[in-house]
Structure 1
Amino acid sequence: MKKRQVSRRVVIIGAVAVGPKVACRVKRLDPNAHVLMIDQDEFISYGGCGIPFFVSGDVSDVKELMSTSFHMLRDPKFFRNVKGVEVRTRTRATEILRETKEVVVEDLNTGKVEKIPYDYLVLATGATPRRLPIPGSDHPDVFTVSNLHDAVAIREKLSRGEVGTAVVIGGGPIGCEMAEALADMWGVEVSVVEILPTLLPAFLEPPLARIVQKHMEEKGVSVYTGETVEEIREENGTFRVKTGRRTLSADIVIQAVGVNPRGELAVKAGLMTTPKGAIAVNERLQTSDPFIYAGGDCIEVPHLVTGRYVHIPMGSLANRQGRVIGTNIAGGYATFEGVVGSFCLKVFDLGLATTGITYEQALKEGFDPVRAYVVQSDRAHFYPTQGLMYMALIADRKTRRILGAQGIGKNGDAVVGRINSIAALLQLGGTLNHLSNLEIAYAPPFASAMDIVNAAANTAENIIEGLNDTIDPDEFIEVFLGEDSGDRVRVLDVRSPVNARPFVERFGERWINIPQEELLDRLAEVPEVENLMVFCNSGLRSYEALRQISHHLGRKARNVQGGAALIKMAGLLPENGDD
């Protein structure tokens, strides 16, 4: 057989997510290309997002994270025989010689150094986990869960029964997932410490974040927000984690405080990088050298809502970027326009998803945001498996452009589906009118006739148009329980007497119950106070009551967003708790 002439030599540095996608795409489009992947680790092409589920035991064998859906192990032999791609593991790239188009590499097993020529080079160098700049953070048994080696080491400690207590530093996605992994399967006593006031601060509005915290605490996880870790100290095999308020003991400590893009090779080669150290790329994912591409956790990309460049380390983005790079290297033309920041997470029995930006982020970006909270069944309310979904929608008051959305519910697939539909609109600059009329496939086992995404848009429009004067759950608690609230604040509860009774008994004349269906006949009983707040289970009946009070009495009142359902789920006002 006549030997085929090589059309192009492609060298890929990094073989976890972006690298394999680029390699396979190039070989499919150009079978004559010679593609070489190098990686300094022996583990390649694995699902890093699955690490918490391997630690928990949901994934029984670490090889499952490195296998195809057909249970083929993605090792060098697989790539050579199935994909036609050469792979060299335990090989570190130390320098890029752009003038001669060569990469200097070192074999970590033998120490041999050599130069590898390329026509096109791909940087898929990923990111490095952050470690806190405090004493003890660099202890070898203080883990960061950044790779399979950490995952295996943690799992082995758990399997040997060496872990009874754990401290997870960081209340972001990885921190929450690791807390569940340790507590749920292994019965470890877990504490989570987060420096900011709420968990998942970059992703969720405060009431929704408190739903997550309350649920984790119900599952036995201790959560300490607003606390800074100052020191990690080992004493006779036990760690002492000192914060500004307490000292926690632990058999194992996990730092989940984010990652930094790895751009060292690019900097050394004189390529452009961003202020955060990420490799700068254009929409075709080319670096400042047109023969060098980069993708995945080592780059920043435009945020389609804010227009700013952001670092979002996610395997899903890496795979899509890998396809774009592969297409361009093989002679095609593809672009990666940017992201809207979609994200989902499972925390014990809850599923949550977000897209776009939060209310606070919108303020910082110069928008005039409005925030709507909606609580509604994720299926027809009469269908047996329905569950409440808690949603926040953020939009710009002036343009009515959608800026972000968040959802939480026990039927996680339903939550993710709704947020994904809003994410699609965000990418196109969608407005509240688009979402209000968004066509959602309907049948009682799957959705309501007026879906929650439509209801959220309608609520936001009513707020903007002045028809629904609202108060957010956090502010409601602060105002109603404030020391100077006195005679100035009253709550009109329009739920049934059975539902309202615990609050009426607790707060006396400050909490008035007039069922919504009786309100028109009892308007004379509505208190005339400076600050009247109307309350129901979700915010829907209270909105109707608000309109009736405005029309018939000409008085102002505010609707408590999310009502009793959101406040109770977030633990903001326990019926039998102390003020």
Structure 2
Amino acid sequence: MAQKVIVVGGVALGPKAACRCMRLAPDTEVTLFDENTLISYGGCGIPYFVGGDIANVKDLCSTPYHTLRDPEFFRDMKGFTVKTMTRVTAIDRQAKTVTARNLATGEEQTYPYDKLVLATGATPRKPDVPGADLGNVFTLTKLEAADAIRKQMEGSSVKSAVVVGGGFIGLEAAVAMADMWGCEVSVVEMMDQVLPGVLSKTLSMMAAHDLRSHNVSVYTSEKVVRMEGEGGKVTRVVTDKREIEAQLVIYSTGFLPNGELAKNAGLEVTSRGAIVVNEHMQTSDPDIYAGGDCCSIKNLITGKQGYLPLGSMANRQGRVIGTNLAGGNATFPGYVGTWAVKLFDKSFCGVGLTPEMARREGFDAVGVSVEQLDKAHFYPEKSMMSLELVAEKGTRRVLGMQGCCSDPDSLKARIDAVAGVLQYARPTVDDISNLEVSYAPPFAAAMDVVNAVANATDNVLCGRMKVITPEEFLELWKNRDNNNYFFIDARPQKAGDAVQAEHPDWHALSLEAIQTRWNEVPGDRPVAIICNTGLRGYDALLVLARHGITDVVQSMGGMQAVLKIGGSI
């Protein structure tokens, strides 16, 4: 008798697991249930549909060869049954059955299974404030909501919009509405930075500056307290600090895993409701698999259970489950947390832990950043890249890397190179310093930026230089009347002279000049050095050290980093 497999959930992991199983074991009877009409869509593409980059919503539900992935497609091309508008309401593990309700007719029916796959996804956090039920207040996870938002924008009725939440989807939505439709957009984030938990403070300031430079208002450390409206539609968002006019609101404040079905069946779930699985993607019942946004997965950096809802990970897990449904022994080791997001001029990408996250996890961590061109300096087409490496001080173990660049492909290549090493090893700073990456002038410098940031981290860990962030440098400069710092500009003399002419406390001592004029630097005052990217500043620091001047800090990334965070002297 053919094995019966039931799959609950039809967005990413569910169809992937079902298709993989049918390829390996075509005699399997697979039935997939989903409570929506549209299935197997690229949810991560929704903001780009809202922004007009994707013309038709059905493109998100289609194959690369433009065939719509509907129930008929899966029946005719993949060999399994899909039941849409059908909600699985209960699992009877003893009888090995599920109960499903047709949402159109209300009819309930019981279906037997040999193996069960839970791909129930996650639910966006709903706004719990007065006025949340007003019209034009959306969460941006379903295609139906995306279509409604797009129609509102096309109708030109939306002049101002508010995005609540400064995570991936929230910022992508803000960019989409401001860039394509010219809408006045405000982002409200209750944490003290955008992209909290994935970007360091400095890089988050770069992201916020990119948004503000394109007329997107960013309000951090701010909480929405209510929404007001007229005629049943939202007109204003009220925070604990201000009132913002809005004809449309998108709530994007995170997700909650849909683990209720599993919990009610007696399966193990975490305190936040995520389903616990082993490396084979089996739940506490070996005949029930689960994966995707409804699951808790091991973080390979911390060794702890974590939660990271990403479509890419759901697809990889779906293949593992499909293989095991067909009798295989595939495993999913866990995640290191590799991500990417494109804003306006800048893209951001990262893997692993930020310095702040690492310290919260108990690591004695340091973050060291550099600014370097992504290609050979003599090649005509090139972009300046910010790259930050996070390492544990004592062991020199690499814990993460994040970056910012106007060329998203260049940045992604560097992050992915380190991500691959992090996933299958415990690399040290020295390993990344010697990491072999491809080289030709149109692609990289001979000493690639990924090697350079490891070299800079080595210099910090070995005590060869003391570094501060660009925002810390600006704070020192702002309070120069009280802190006695001696500020050195090691850029070419002309650049430093221009600033010194306006600010007498600014000392233009180029790298060339400091070789002979080092004695102009007082030995009894702390020194702060800045240059253009950090390279000349380090050499200037070494010159001073040779002459016994060692109370010196260098601003990481130089003036390039200062400008990227929106700072000025």
Contact 1:489-1:529 at 8 Å conserved across structures: no
Structure 1 unmatched runs, 5+: 1-5
Contact 1:193-1:225 at 8 Å conserved across structures: yes
User: In the TM superposition, what is the alpha-carbon distance from 1:389 to its structure 2 partner?
Assistant: 0.2
| Separation of aligned partners in 2, 1:295 and 1:288 | 13
**Matched residue, 2:77:** 82
| Separation of aligned partners in 2, 1:159 and 1:534 | 51
Contact 2:136-2:247 at 8 Å conserved across structures: no
User: In the TM superposition, what is the alpha-carbon distance from 1:473 to its structure 2 partner?
Assistant: 1.6
User: In the TM superposition, what is the alpha-carbon distance from 1:141 to its structure 2 partner?
Assistant: 2.6
| Separation of aligned partners in 2, 1:536 and 1:565 | 9
**Matched residue, 1:99:** 94
**Matched residue, 1:8:** 3
Aligned positions of 1:417-496 closer than 5 A: 417-427=413-423, 428-482=425-479, 485-486=482-483, 488-496=484-492
| Separation of aligned partners in 1, 2:396 and 2:135 | 51
For 1:553, what is the secondary structure of its paired residue? coil
**Matched residue, 1:293:** 289
For 1:300, what is the secondary structure of its paired residue? strand
For 2:276, what is the secondary structure of its paired residue? coil
Cα distance change of structure 1 residues 570 and 293 upon mapping to structure 2, 3 Å threshold: same
> After superposition, what is the alpha-carbon deviation per residue over 1:201-244, rounded to whole angstroms, capped at 9, x for unaligned?
21111221111111111111111111111111113444211111
| Separation of aligned partners in 1, 2:313 and 2:127 | 27
| Separation of aligned partners in 2, 1:561 and 1:135 | 45
**Matched residue, 1:194:** 189
User: In the TM superposition, what is the alpha-carbon distance from 1:484 to its structure 2 partner?
Assistant: 5.4
Contact 1:229-1:241 at 8 Å conserved across structures: yes
Contact 2:373-2:384 at 8 Å conserved across structures: yes
**Matched residue, 2:150:** 155
| Separation of aligned partners in 2, 1:89 and 1:164 | 36
User: What one-letter code is carried by the residue in structure 1 that aligns with 2:239?
Assistant: T
**Matched residue, 2:50:** 55
Is 1:391 equivalent to 2:387 in the alignment?
Answer: yes
Is 1:122 equivalent to 2:117 in the alignment?
Answer: yes
> After superposition, what is the alpha-carbon deviation per residue over 1:368-419, rounded to whole angstroms, capped at 9, x for unaligned?
1111110000011111110100111100111111001111111110001100
User: In the TM superposition, what is the alpha-carbon distance from 1:485 to its structure 2 partner?
Assistant: 2.6
Aligned positions of 1:173-572 closer than 5 A: 173-236=168-231, 237-427=233-423, 428-482=425-479, 485-486=482-483, 488-508=484-504, 510-572=505-567
> After superposition, what is the alpha-carbon deviation per residue over 1:293-330, rounded to whole angstroms, capped at 9, x for unaligned?
00000001011111121111111000000011111111
User: In the TM superposition, what is the alpha-carbon distance from 1:554 to its structure 2 partner?
Assistant: 4.2
Q: How many residues align?
A: 567
1:66 to 49, 61, 69: 61
| Separation of aligned partners in 2, 1:203 and 1:155 | 28
| Separation of aligned partners in 2, 1:562 and 1:325 | 44
User: What one-letter code is carried by the residue in structure 1 that aligns with 2:339?
Assistant: F
Contact 1:536-1:563 at 8 Å conserved across structures: yes
> After superposition, what is the alpha-carbon deviation per residue over 1:27-60, rounded to whole angstroms, capped at 9, x for unaligned?
0110110111010001100000000001011000
| Separation of aligned partners in 2, 1:502 and 1:122 | 66
User: In the TM superposition, what is the alpha-carbon distance from 1:12 to its structure 2 partner?
Assistant: 0.2
For 2:380, what is the secondary structure of its paired residue? coil
Contact 1:490-1:529 at 8 Å conserved across structures: no
Cα distance change of structure 1 residues 448 and 181 upon mapping to structure 2, 3 Å threshold: same
> After superposition, what is the alpha-carbon deviation per residue over 1:86-110, rounded to whole angstroms, capped at 9, x for unaligned?
1010001010011110000011111
| Separation of aligned partners in 1, 2:240 and 2:495 | 41
| Separation of aligned partners in 2, 1:295 and 1:555 | 54
User: What one-letter code is carried by the residue in structure 2 that aligns with 1:478?
Assistant: E
> After superposition, what is the alpha-carbon deviation per residue over 1:499-524, rounded to whole angstroms, capped at 9, x for unaligned?
1134313321x211111012121121
Structure 2 unmatched runs, 5+: none
User: In the TM superposition, what is the alpha-carbon distance from 1:555 to its structure 2 partner?
Assistant: 3.1
Aligned positions of 1:138-149 closer than 5 A: 138-149=133-144
Contact 2:61-2:68 at 8 Å conserved across structures: yes
> After superposition, what is the alpha-carbon deviation per residue over 1:166-215, rounded to whole angstroms, capped at 9, x for unaligned?
00001111111000110111111111111112111211112211111111
| Separation of aligned partners in 2, 1:458 and 1:219 | 35
Contact 1:380-1:446 at 8 Å conserved across structures: yes
| Separation of aligned partners in 2, 1:99 and 1:232 | 48
For 2:300, what is the secondary structure of its paired residue? coil
| Separation of aligned partners in 2, 1:39 and 1:316 | 20
Cα distance change of structure 1 residues 483 and 559 upon mapping to structure 2, 3 Å threshold: closer
| Separation of aligned partners in 1, 2:120 and 2:162 | 29
| Separation of aligned partners in 2, 1:92 and 1:411 | 43
Cα distance change of structure 1 residues 533 and 177 upon mapping to structure 2, 3 Å threshold: same
Contact 2:258-2:294 at 8 Å conserved across structures: yes
User: What one-letter code is carried by the residue in structure 1 that aligns with 2:545?
Assistant: S
User: In the TM superposition, what is the alpha-carbon distance from 1:140 to its structure 2 partner?
Assistant: 4.6
Contact 1:238-1:249 at 8 Å conserved across structures: no
Residues 174-183 or 202-211, more deviating: 202-211
Residues 226-235 or 166-175, more deviating: 226-235
**Matched residue, 1:136:** 131
User: What one-letter code is carried by the residue in structure 1 that aligns with 2:432?
Assistant: L
| Separation of aligned partners in 2, 1:287 and 1:518 | 66
Contact 2:137-2:234 at 8 Å conserved across structures: no
| Separation of aligned partners in 2, 1:451 and 1:198 | 30
% identical aligned pairs: 46
| Separation of aligned partners in 2, 1:384 and 1:520 | 31
**Matched residue, 1:3:** none
For 2:275, what is the secondary structure of its paired residue? coil
| Separation of aligned partners in 1, 2:478 and 2:368 | 23
